[in-house]
Chain A
């Protein structure tokens, strides 16, 4: 089954939860879909090998054929082409690769040019029971995260438990990540910022009709407004990870805390089993 770890806000502990949960399970997959900042491997420290590049198609203008008729720049809704009386310019960073400009050009003056926007990597070292890690990495200066996320998700093995580390926010990259997952763990912290962004994340899960529960990280560091909200809305609080300087210190050093605090492995395993029993697909049983 596919379990995504998400949160409206950044920095709530998504990666911590994803990595520690995946390490507590047997033979899981871990997909790092936070392609703008993939951080899972900072904790797993695996050897990674590139398996595929993510490319997109942008227009290349053959100026000798161009009559500066402006049809392409008028068609492009992303302002990625500008036509001057006798010059034409493209802005690849704005291009969404819809292909429209090539269709409308009457002179065949636009050809496809492939650019690399990101890369997918896979862990090579095979730990006995540790998770198999895949990560997507968006190239610096590129804006289109969703195609890189879509490519990472192609490597999901439907016969295994897959933990997906989602990006923060509520926009396109999150929706691409959460599409088709079976369950979503929403990580939050017990503060007004945490609560505000949790509400947005819950709304996303509800719109996408994904069963979801809450994990409160740094429990005890704020107030009880998150728990009150969950009680009022009938949302299950799955687990609480306390505000603990030992966990914070291990995090800062890049050490997954289940490795030093073994009792948490059992807790994460129970969390997974409880989700799987209730929301896992029958055929995987």
Chain B
């Protein structure tokens, strides 16, 4: 079984559109939405939830006012400034490390369980899907990504799936690193803008850093064909395969409004190019050991 992640560095390049299209082309696969901060895949695939799992992030500190003597040792030792001067806890800042509990001489602090999201195991018209909701303002989105991946992998094992497809979050930080860990291949979606090129360079450094093989797909290529050329040259110089290019088109938006993948929505240059990209991705995946 192989693991494919779709990432981009930059937001808004079309990751979810392309992931959903690949999900509708791949056979015997599991789909997982790892963009837990702003998940969108469910809007296209309309999953029917079969099972839900509570997600518990890091514990958070809780101070018992009765026992607190106001010594401020907790405030002085908290490296996250998570304790207000009145000794209440700023739960958005608390990382759950337990240092305050350790230093409190009055045993007034306990670390308490913190339900911070839900993981869903669902069915879609293209097979099983795992997705999640992080409660607003909760920490630990990287940990939730890991939980989504674990559920997807165990579902893949039960179903004898050949492939798990992960729709990744934007950026290069904690949730992205959690998403790409263990992947066989990263498909990087980029666009030919100066920001697209900048973020592509950064995300390739991340995949290199973690030793994840990467290939690139250029979306909206005809918005700036000189920049597209530059991306192709730079990929060639760095030995990165360009799996294909997609034209700027209103189809992704129209398909989205109709709750369809672009493959379902239209049979034209856009969907044909995507099918060819999928064939390249599949060949690259098959070539990974």
Residues in A lying within 8 Å of B, measured CB to CB: 8-12, 15, 35-37, 39, 42-43, 75, 77-78, 93, 96-100, 103-104, 138, 140-145, 167-173, 175, 191-193, 196-197, 200, 203-204, 207-208, 221-223, 248-249, 251-254
29 contacts between A and B (CB under 8 A): A9-B38, A10-B171, A11-B12, A12-B11, A36-B173, A37-B10, A39-B198, A75-B102, A98-B95, A98-B97, A98-B99, A99-B77, A99-B99, A100-B98, A140-B205, A140-B209, A143-B177, A168-B171, A171-B37, A200-B37, A207-B136, A207-B137, A221-B253, A223-B257, A249-B224, A251-B193, A252-B227, A253-B194, A253-B227
Whether B206 sits at the interface, judged by CB under 8 Å, is: yes
Is residue B96 contacting chain A, with contact meaning CB distance below 8 A? yes
Given A172-B92, A252-B193: 15 more A-B contacts, CB < 8 Å:
A11-B11, A37-B172, A37-B195, A42-B195, A75-B98, A141-B177, A168-B38, A169-B169, A169-B171, A170-B38, A191-B257, A192-B256, A222-B256, A252-B196, A253-B194
Residues of A within 8 A of B202 (CB): 36-37, 140
Which of A35, A171, A175 has the most B CB atoms < 10 Å from its CB? A171
A39 touches B173 (CB 8 A): no
Q: How far is the CA of A8 from the CA of B169 in the complex (A)?
A: 12
The answer to whether A140 touches B172, judged by C-beta atoms less than 8 angstroms apart, is: yes
Of B38, B139, B199, B205, which is in contact with the most chain A CB atoms at under 10 Å from its CB? B38
Q: Which of B86-118 contact A (CB under 8 A)?
A: 92, 95-99, 102-103
Q: When A11-B11, A37-B9 are in contact, do A170 and B40 touch as well, CB less than 8 Å?
A: no
Q: Bound state CA distance, A98 and B81, in angstroms?
A: 11
Residues of chain B from 1 to 17 with CB closer than 8 A to chain A in the complex:
9-13, 16
Q: Do B177 and A138 touch (CB < 8 A)?
A: no
Interchain CB contact under 8 A, A77 and B170: no
Out of A104, A138, A222, A248, which one reaches B257, CB within 8 Å? Answer: A222
Residue of B nearest to A35 (CB): B173
Chain A residues within 8 Å of B289, by CB: none
Among A36, A43, A204, A254, chain B packs the most CB atoms within 10 A around the CB of A36
State whether the Cβ of B142 lies closer than 8 Å to any Cβ in chain A: yes
Q: How far is the CA of A193 from the CA of B209 in the complex (A)?
A: 31
B262: interface (CB < 8 Å): no
B interface residues, Cβ below 8 angstroms from A: 9-13, 16, 37-38, 40, 43, 58-59, 77, 79-80, 92, 95-99, 102-103, 134, 136-139, 141-142, 169-177, 191-196, 198-199, 202, 205-206, 209-210, 223-224, 227, 248, 250, 253, 256-257, 259
Docked complex Cα distance between A104 and B101 (Å): 12
Of listed A12, A98, A175, residue having the most chain B CB within 10 A: A98
Question: Secondary structure of the B side of the interface?
Answer: loop
* Complexed CA–CA distance, A236 and B176 (Å): 33
Contact status A103-B177, CB under 8 Å: no
* Chain B residues closer than 8 Å to A75, beta-carbon distance: 98, 102
A122 to B94: give the CA distance in the assembly, Å. Answer: 30
| Interface hub of A138, A140, A204, A249 (most chain B Cβ within 10 A) | A140
Kindly report which residue of chain A lies nearest to residue B192, judged by CB atoms.
A252
Given contacts A11-B13, A37-B170, A168-B37, is CB(A140)–CB(B98) below 8 Å? Answer: no
Knowing A140-B209, A193-B256, A248-B223 are in contact, say whether A96-B194 is a contact too (CB < 8 A): no
A245, closest chain B residue (CB): B223
**Residues of A contacting B224 in the complex (Cβ-Cβ under 8 angstroms):** 249, 252-253
Contact B171 A167 (CB under 8 A): yes
In the bound complex, residues from chain B placing their C-beta under 8 Å from that of A200 are 37-38, 136
The reply to whether A10 and B12 contact each other, CB–CB distance below 8 Å, is: yes
Chain B residue at minimal CB-CB distance from A13: B12
B170 and A10 form a contact (CB under 8 A): yes
- The smallest beta-carbon distance between B198 and chain A, in angstroms, is 6
**How far is the CB of B278 from the nearest CB of chain A, in Å?**
21
Min C-beta distance of A79 to chain B, whole Å: 10
A170 near B206: Cβ-Cβ < 8 Å: no
Q: In the complex, are the beta carbons of A196 and B43 less than 8 A apart?
A: yes
By a CB distance below 8 angstroms, the chain B residues around A96 are: 95, 97
Chain A residues with CB below 8 A from B175, complex form:
169, 171
The answer for the CA separation of A249 and B205 in the assembled complex, in Å, is 27
Q: Contact check, A100 vs B136: say whether CB atoms are below 8 A apart.
A: no
How long is the Cα–Cα vector from A248 to B9 in the complex, in angstroms?
A: 19
Complex alpha-carbon distance, A10 and B40, angstroms? 11
A271 → chain B closest CB, angstroms: 22
Assuming the A-B contacts A100-B99, A171-B139, are A10 and B257 also in contact, with contact meaning beta carbons closer than 8 angstroms in the complex? Answer: no
The answer for the CA separation of A35 and B142 in the assembled complex, in Å, is 17
The answer on a CB contact under 8 Å between A36 and B171 is yes
Max chain A C-beta neighbours (<10 A), residue from B9, B58, B173, B253: B173
Q: A9-B38, A37-B202, A170-B37 in contact; A77/B58 too (CB < 8 A)?
A: yes
